[in-house]
Amino acid sequence: MVAGGACGWGWGGVGECPVTGSKAEPVAEMVLPSGWGQGIEQPITPPPERTLVFGAVRGTEISAQPGKLAGREKTLISRHCPVKTHIMEPRAAQVRRRERLGRQQKDRPSREGEPCSGGAGRPGGIGGNVEVHRGPDLVQWTQHMQAVKTQLLEQAQGQLMELLDQAMWEAVQAYPPQGRPVPSVPPDSLHKTREPSLGKRKVFIIRKSLLDELMEVPHFRTIYHMFVAGLCVFIISTLAIDLIDEGRLMMEFDLLTFSFGQLPLALVTWVPMFLSTLLVPYQALRLWERPQSGGAWTLGVGLGCLLLAAHTVVLGILPVHVAVEYQLPPASRCVLVFEQVRLLMKSYSFLRETVPGTLRARGGEGIRAPSFSSYLYFLFCPTLIYRETYPRTPNVRWSYVAKNFAQALGCVLYACFILGRLCVPVFANMSQEPFSTRALVLSIMHATLPGIFMLLLIFFAFLHCWLNAFAEMLRFGDRMFYRDWWNSTSFSNYYRTWNVVVHDWLYSYVYQDGLWLLGGRARGAAMLGVFLVSAVVHEYIFCFVLGFFYPVMLLLFLVFGGPLNFTMHDRRTGPAWNVLMWTLLFLGQGIQVSLYCQEWYARRHCPLPQTTFWGLVTPRSWSCHT
């Protein structure tokens, strides 16, 4: 049977014809009245696949189920409707039926636009006894597809815009600064003048820090609340102990006061360090930008080199002299050594990014140095890679700045509570007891928990709170100071994601330049150079802050860090490798906290009768035992 109606002939009250506008549509389901066929009401449901034929006579063919209808009653929809359904039959029978239908249509012509209705008196009409379920309207379906097309185009346009923005930033940063002519170099001499870069350059884009994005998730924010609750527990325990032992409620911050002693002297020492970094590298570049002809340029180059040498001496010797001469405590030393290393790295990045273009200049005009304001901005913005321009946010959220500074201060207090409650009682008198392997192992295991707490606090306070506060004040757009290092399954990935700011500097100026010097070969040697530089600088920082040389960090980096970087590489994936990495981090932090704390108290309990070189470089904790 036909499940449908024809315009001007067939079933009545079916609907509009979707092409001509007449009221006709294919019917999805029809119930025959009693007395038709075998006298049983049988629904005829078309198969799920329908064929829409625009402006044709053909349609979807529906065959009645055998045994349910007496005979094979068949009907063909009028030619005016674009969707037609009929039952498969022999071709001769189809021809005869079409001729008969044609004669019937001549007798009953349908007007264009007339509703498709077959009244009770029309041949073949069923009247009002037909129950009709309309199919989807073609106009609505077209509108739906148009909406889907628009949505897909918007998504594709958004992704394309992101790709084009990134490509634009790469092109802008690779373009010579304003006022600089592009040096015309013959194609055959490109290999002689290209910059020593064999890998990708750092591209800055506007993006939020990962923890800021994760803090928007309530499940992750609960972890942050747990750490805050831990700080509250430390405060309550301190108050309870003071109340029980001293009979008073007073929180004394002796450790905090001692650590930040003589802080004004450290800040005064910072002023000449900053002024030297602000003036000397920029002035040296201005001397080198002069025309490369005659003795004037040679004199300028020599004078610039002398200025840079003096700048290096000031940054290298002044903070060390002040720290040793005035016996600065650890936190004040941290201020000096971090600024010393930061300013040296920024100076090198500025010269490394600008000097190659200056030295490649030809002719008598030379090229202009970048603007002084861009260099001044670079000295304060939270990155170690120099660019003349950075992506900027539209405004400053001062509430966000205050929140991050408050969180950084809270982390400092948290660290003082951890050291005062978990480390000082254990290691203060350890050097006065006889040495034993058991005591050493137990002290390392005991120090794993405070060690990992200190690692997390340093990460959150400095890499997240401190850097984000300065980035917000300076409207610095790229906030990717770290990545998801906690999900690392290899130490190579951990080293890349733990501190992205330092990693970018090491990758750009140690690894890539090392590859360039080696002709693009020996990547393992370049990677080993990165480990060596990183290990030496980390050990220097520990030596400067603590006031003694005990190469625990150096040995952990070179003896364990290097081999683990090559063995636990990026192909090591899976939860087990992440568990292994965290286990090694716990043990490594426990070793550092235990050995450095033992050496700190041993040097106070067992001072040297006279200062000698071997006495300074030999660990005192090995011999200071009663």
Q: How far apart are CA 541 and CA 562, in angstroms?
A: 19
DSSP letter assigned to residue 575: H
Contacts of 24 (CB under 8 A, 6+ apart): 4, 5, 6, 7, 14, 15, 16, 17, 77, 78, 80, 81, 115, 116
Q: What CA–CA distances, in Å, run from 262 to 332, 416, 553?
A: 7, 18, 27
- Cα of 475 vs its chain's centroid, Å: 18
pLDDT tens-place string over residues 413-457: 889 888 888 888 888 887 777 777 888 888 899 899 999 999 999
- Residue 361 tokens read as 């200049």
Token pair, residue 48, equals 């799920």
Tens digits of residue pLDDT in 476-502: 989 999 998 998 888 888 888 999 999
Q: What are the tens digits of pLDDT across the range 87-138? A: 445 555 555 666 666 665 555 544 444 444 444 444 444 344 444 444 457 7
What is the C-alpha separation between 94 and 63, in angstroms, rounded?
A: 15
At which residue do the structure tokens 């044609």 appear? Answer: 102
Q: b or e along 383-414 (b: 16 or more beta carbons within 10 Å of the residue's beta carbon)?
A: bbbbbbebbeeeeeeeeebeebbebbebbebb
More confident residue, 519 or 392: 392
**What tokens were used for 423?**
């480390």
Instruction: Provide the pLDDT confidence category of residue 464 given band limits of 50, 70 and 90.
Output: very high
Instruction: Determine the pLDDT at residue 192.
Output: 36
Q: What is the 3-state secondary structure (H, E, C) of 233-269?
A: HHHHHHHHHHHHHHCCCCCCCHHHHHHCCCHHHHHHH
Cβ–Cβ under 8 Å, residues 38 and 71: no
Overall pTM > 0.85: no
Q: Is 51 a residue whose pLDDT tops 60?
A: no
Query: Using CA atoms, how far apart are residues 443 and 110, in angstroms rounded to an integer?
Result: 100
Catalytic residue from among 538, 569, 605, 625: 538
Mean pLDDT of the chain: 74
**Chain segment 295-340, per-residue pLDDT in tens:** 666 777 788 889 899 999 999 999 999 998 998 999 999 999 999 9
Structure tokens at 98: 């079409």
CA dihedral 400, 401, 407, 412 (to 10 degrees): 170
Query: How far apart are alpha carbons 314 and 310 in whole angstroms?
Result: 6
pLDDT at 344: 94
DSSP β-ladder status, 59-61 and 43-44: unpaired
Residues whose CB is less than 8 angstroms from the CB of residue 502 and which lie 6 or more positions away in sequence, other chains included? 384, 534
> What confidence score (pLDDT) does residue 12 get?
38
Percent of the chain with pLDDT over 70: 68
Considering only residues 43 and 245, tell me which one the structure prediction assigns the higher pLDDT: 245
What values do phi and psi take at 184, rounded to 5? -85, 110
Q: 605 catalytic, yes or no?
A: no
pLDDT exceeds cutoff 90 at 345: yes
Least confident range of 204-213, 302-311, 576-585, 602-611: 602-611
Question: Which has the closest alpha carbon to 408: 338, 481, 465?
Answer: 465
Per-residue pLDDT at 106: 54
Question: Looking at 208-212, 285-289, 432-436, 545-549, which range is the least confident one?
Answer: 432-436
Lowest mean pLDDT, pick from 43-52, 85-94, 391-400: 43-52
Quick check: 548 pLDDT over 50? yes
- Picking from 37, 46, 102, the residue whose alpha carbon sits closest to that of residue 73 is 37
Write out 264-298 in H/E/C secondary structure: HHHHHHHHHHHHHHHHHHHHHHHHHCCCCCHHHHH
Instruction: Please write the tens of the pLDDT for every residue from 571-587.
Output: 777 788 889 889 999 99
Residue 266, pLDDT above cutoff 70:
yes
For the chain, the first-to-last Cα distance in angstroms comes to 107
